[in-house]
Amino acid sequence: MPELPEVETVRRSLLDKIVGRRIHALRLTDFPGVLGADRAEDVQARVEGRQVARIRRRAKYLLIDLDDDTTIVIHLRMTGKLSVVPHDEPPLRFERLAIELDDGFDLRFSDQRKFGRVLHSQDDELARLEQRLGREPLEPEFSAAWLQERLLRRPGKIKAVLLDQGLIGGLGNIYVDESLFRAGIHPERRANTLTADEVQRVHRAIRDVLRAAVAGQGTTFSSFADAEGNPGRYGGRLRVYGRGGKGPCPVCGAPLERIVVGGRGTSFCPRCQPL
C-alpha cells in the first residue's frame, strides 16, 4: 500500500496539472463504489464548475481542495493510480472514475483491486478524518520529546505502535522496517521500554528514511506510479524490507530474518537489532 513518500510523490506530480483547473464533469465506469456511499449524480452536481484550489497530503490520503471549501479525498489503498491524460484518450486499464477538466484533460483514477476511494467530503467529514490521524512525521511538531512521551504510554511492540495511524500519520510497513533497522531497534521491543537515546535514534531514523524516500519518489514493487506513469526510484535503496530470509544484512553480513508483528511481515537483522 502506498505510504507517505508515495502519496507525496503523486501530489507533487499533480501540482502543475490540475491546480487552477475547473471541473467540467465526472464519469464513472463499472464501479460506483469508488465514490463510497454517494451517488454519482449527486457528486457531479456538487463538483461541476468548481476550481481546484490546492492539493495536500495528510498521512496516506491525497486531498484536493476545491474553491467552495469542500475536498476530494483520495485513498489509493493497494493498487489505486491517478493519471492526467487527454480527454479523448481511451479508458485506462482498470479505470474507475474520470474527472473532466477545463483544459481538455482528465484526472483519472484506476484501481485493479477496487479498494481505493475518491470521496467528496464536507467540513465535518474532514474533521472526523483529521481526528483519526496522528502527527505528520516530517512536520516540526513531530519531535523526539513528543514521541518519547507517547511511547512511554504504549506497552505494545514498537513496530505495531509505529504503524498506528492514530499516532503517526503516513508510516507503513516499508518505512517502519527501514527506520527500525537504521535505529538498531528490534521490531518486537516493547515501546515503553525504549530509553531516551533509543527514542532519539528512532525519531531521527524515521525522518531520514522518509526524506530520502520522498527524494527518491517512493518505492515501486508492482503497481505504484506517479501521475505521469513514472515508478518510484527508492526501492533499490531499501536495506531490509522484504529481504528477511533471503539475504545478508548490508551492515554486518548476518542472515536477515522474517517474523510477523501485528499481522505484518517484518524483516530485521538479529545482530544489528538485538532484542
Among the listed residues 250, 264, 270, 271, the single catalytic one is: 264
CA–CA distance, 135 with 107 (Å, rounded to integer) = 29
Catalytic residue among 11, 58, 60, 96: 60
Q: Where are the alpha helices (DSSP H) in 57-192?
A: 123-132, 144-151, 158-162, 173-183
> Choosing from 3, 6, 8, 178, which is the catalytic residue?
3
114 is catalytic: no
Q: Is 150 a catalytic residue?
A: no
The rounded distance, in Å, linking the Cα atoms of 164 and 213 is 20
Task: Pick the closest to residue 66 from 75, 74, 57, 54 (CA basis).
Answer: 54
Annotated active-site residue 2? The verdict is yes
Cell 495536500 sits on residue? 56
Is the CB of residue 267 less than 8 Å from the CB of residue 165?
no
Q: Is the CB of residue 257 less than 8 Å from the CB of residue 267?
A: yes
Residue 113 identity: R
CA distance 166 to 92: 35
Farthest-apart Cα atoms in the chain, separation = 60
Known catalytic membership, residue 264: yes
Given the residues 2, 5, 137, 187, the one annotated as active site: 2
Q: Are 43 and 49 in contact (CB under 8 A)?
A: no
Residue 197: other Cβ atoms inside 10 A:
9
| Positions marked active-site | 2-3, 60, 264
